[in-house]
Every structure is written in structure tokens, then in C-alpha cells.
Chain A
Amino acid sequence: MKLHVNGVAHTLDVDPEMPLLWALRDVLGLTGTKYGCGEALCGACTVHLDGKPVRACVTPVRRADGRAVTTIEGLSPDGSHPVQQAWLALRVPQCGFCQAGQIMTAVALLREKPKPTDAEIEASMAGNLCRCGTYPRIRAAVRKAAGLPEDGE
């Protein structure tokens, strides 16, 4: 199978049913994407497939064959992506485990809706859980990255 991960072409000789998350972490060594629940219930493993968020833990690697995968490592080489910068500015993470997934979903949201309403932020981010409860800062950072007031509508 041929995957384009963060702009780099890879040929993988793996079981086509292997979860994409396994291929990214264990085969390609891209460990920024996290394993959370393994059942598409928490969002920690969110990556982009041709620009659309998917839960890598339940996505067989065959689905990514010939397509472009973007992980948290691929957003920017130095953490300079506007969403990453907003996360840093507002010190969003607490433990940080879920934040790669949070950021990947936020990036996709802002690409489709550059000025999202609070309701749109809620609807799109609802599948990314944070056990530390950083949700208010996540929402504020999404709004900051969008150039909106951080404190909501």
C-alpha cells in the first residue's frame, strides 16, 4: 500500500485491515497521534485523510491507500500553525494527551468554517473528549485562531 503521510510517500507491507493508527505509530514512528479508547469514542487518534478528520483507531489502513494522511506532525514543522499558536497562547493543554486530536479536528473545522459559531464549534468538537476538562480553553482557542473574541458570542 502507498500512503502519502505529511507529504512523504511511504510503501507499507502490512495487513490491509491494520488500523491506520498502528501503521502511523508503530510502523512509521509518528507517535504524536494518540491511542485513547480504540473504539472511535474519544477522538484522541484523529488525523486527516485527504483533509477530512477520521479516527485512525478504527480506520483500516487500506482506506488510506493512495491517499493523503496528515497527522499532528504534519501541520507545521515547528508548531507555527495558527491553531497550534492559539493553543500555546491560551495554554490549552493540561495533561495534553487528547490535544493532538483536538487540534486536528479544530483545523478541519476552521478550514470549512473560518468563522464558526459557538454551536458549530460544539457540534464539530463534540467527539473529542478531554478528561482534564479543558473545554472552555479549547473553545476559546478555536475562536482565537479564527480571529474571533475568545470569550464567546
Chain B
Amino acid sequence: MSRTLAGMRSAWLFVAAALTTAACGGKDARAPAPPVVLREVPAHELRAVDDFAAIGDRTARSRALFVEASRVMLHPRCVNCHPSGDVPHQGTALALHDPPVVRGPDGHGVVGMECATCHQDRNQALTRVPGAPGWHLAPVEMAWVGRTPGQLCAQLKDPARNGGKSLAAIVEHSAHDPLVAWGWSPGADREPAPGTQAQFGALIAAWVDTGAACPDEEDAR
């Protein structure tokens, strides 16, 4: 999974750089600007918003910012509870949740097997059961499993598939929601989402500020 994500990230940063090149090429067709090379970061870190300042074209910068932010949203800590089926995932390999719970009518499970039957408002150190306030599944229309960054972006901007949120609400949710915050404090030996929630929130805010452009590698779903 992490290799796939890393490969996806590399591919997308190349696209972002190519977009920048194309945008700058009009100024001097004989000497196109060299592609922007973003600094390398380990898989567990995020690039800062400032790292994208070298991308001159605003739309290309917006797309690249989203690709960076998508490394969080497509991380197992996040997609595990954004399943496309009726069962959440767990672990870094997206195994189906064991015990065998189902999403139920409102994303909180069914009687006897509700999320709060086992999950508490915080991680339980001795039993390793993860927890955070409001533990629940995202609605199926907000499923993220298997999405590309471009598909995820289109989905995130669609009120029918983002819980009716405005872009401003998405920024606030990304930066401050306590259940989102769990992704960086997952407890036990779980791998946290890359970077920090503050960095992620800043990337999403910068993406919105630059026009909330979506990577356009394919038709959005």
C-alpha cells in the first residue's frame, strides 16, 4: 500500500511540474522553464505550503497542493473508515474490520455491534482499541477507498458527496475535527497519517485559496 501511494505521489508531482512547464512555456517557446522539482520528503512527512511557491501557475500550484493533501486522505488511517462497502477496514493493508461490523443505517453500526460498543472517546492503551470522539463511518457517498487524487478532489468539492460542506467548512473540518485528528494519533503501533493535522489543514486551506483546482488525470467519477 505504501509503495503504491509513494508511486502515485511521484507520478502526480511529475504531472504538477509538467503543468507548470506548460504554463510558463508561452513566455518563451524556445526556452521553456525547467520543471519545478519539489523537495523530497520521507513518506511520513508532508511538504509545507511554502514548498509549492515555486510553481508559478496558480492552477498548477492548486493541483499540486491537493495531490500533497491527498496523501493524508488516501492514507489507510483515513480511508479505513471511508469504505466503499458496508464494512470498515483496518490495518495498513485495508483488511476488513474484525469483529465483523457493518455500517448500519447511520454509519454507527447496528444494535449490539455499534462503533461505541467497543470504541471509546480515546485510544485504549492496554487493549489497543482505537478511539476518538464521535467514532463512526463516513457515509457511502463519501467513500474514498480506491480513489485517485483526481477522483477524490472532484468528490470533495461535490456537496452531494462531501456531507453538504462548503469549501470553507472543508478547511475547518480538515484542520480541527477531533475525529480527523485521530489520524495523527492512532495509538498502539498504528502508522499515523503523514505530517500533522496543522500541516494538512494548511495545505487544504492553500488549495482552496488557489482556486481548489483538481488534478485532471482522468474523468472524475
Stretch in A55-63, A65-73, A74-82 with 4+ CB within 8 Å of B: A55-63
User: Per DSSP, are chain B's interface residues mostly helix, strand or loop, or mixed?
Assistant: loop
A105/B129 in contact, CB under 8 A? no
Contact count A vs B, C-beta below 8 Å: 66
Residue A52, interface by CB 8 Å = yes
Residue B176, interface by CB 8 Å = no
Q: Enumerate chain A residues within 8 angstroms of B102, measured Cβ to Cβ.
A: 123
Q: Enumerate chain B residues within 8 angstroms of A153, measured Cβ to Cβ.
A: none
B100/A38 in contact, CB under 8 A? no
Stretch in A28-36, A83-91, A124-132, A143-151 with 4+ CB within 8 Å of B: A124-132
Asked if A53 meets B112 with Cβ closer than 8 Å, knowing A58-B118, A59-B120, A127-B117, the reply is: yes
Which of chain A's residues has its CB closest to B128's CB? A39
B112/A113 in contact, CB under 8 A? no
B111/A113 in contact, CB under 8 A? yes
Asked if A63 meets B112 with Cβ closer than 8 Å, knowing A39-B129, A40-B129, A126-B99, the reply is: no
Chain A CB within 10 Å, residue with most, of B99, B112, B118, B128: B112
Contact partner, B111, options A38, A39, A43, A109, Cβ 8 Å: A109
Report A150 CB to chain B, min CB distance, Å.
20
User: Per DSSP, are chain A's interface residues mostly helix, strand or loop, or mixed?
Assistant: mixed
Q: Enumerate chain A residues within 8 angstroms of B129, measured Cβ to Cβ.
A: 39-40, 58
Q: Enumerate chain B residues within 8 angstroms of A108, measured Cβ to Cβ.
A: 111-112
A58/B124 in contact, CB under 8 A? yes
A43 to B129, CA, bound (A): 14
Tell me the count of chain A residues lying within 8 A, CB to CB, of chain B. 28
Residue B94, interface by CB 8 Å = no
A54 to B121, CA, bound (A): 13
A125 to B112, CA, bound (A): 7
Q: Enumerate chain A residues within 8 angstroms of B121, measured Cβ to Cβ.
A: 63
Q: Enumerate chain B residues within 8 angstroms of A127, measured Cβ to Cβ.
A: 99-101, 112-113, 117-118
Residue B13, interface by CB 8 Å = no
A126/B111 in contact, CB under 8 A? no
CB-contacts of A8-61 with B (<8 A): 38-41, 43, 46, 52-55, 57-60
A64 to B101, CA, bound (A): 23
CB-contacts of B118-149 with A (<8 A): 118, 120-121, 124, 127-129
Sorted from nearest, which 10 A-B pairs have the closest CB atoms?
Answer: A124-B112, A40-B118, A105-B112, A127-B99, A112-B111, A58-B127, A126-B100, A58-B129, A39-B127, A123-B110
Q: Which residues on A are within 8 Å of B, measured CB to CB?
A: 38-41, 43, 46, 52-55, 57-60, 63, 105, 108-109, 111-113, 120, 123-128
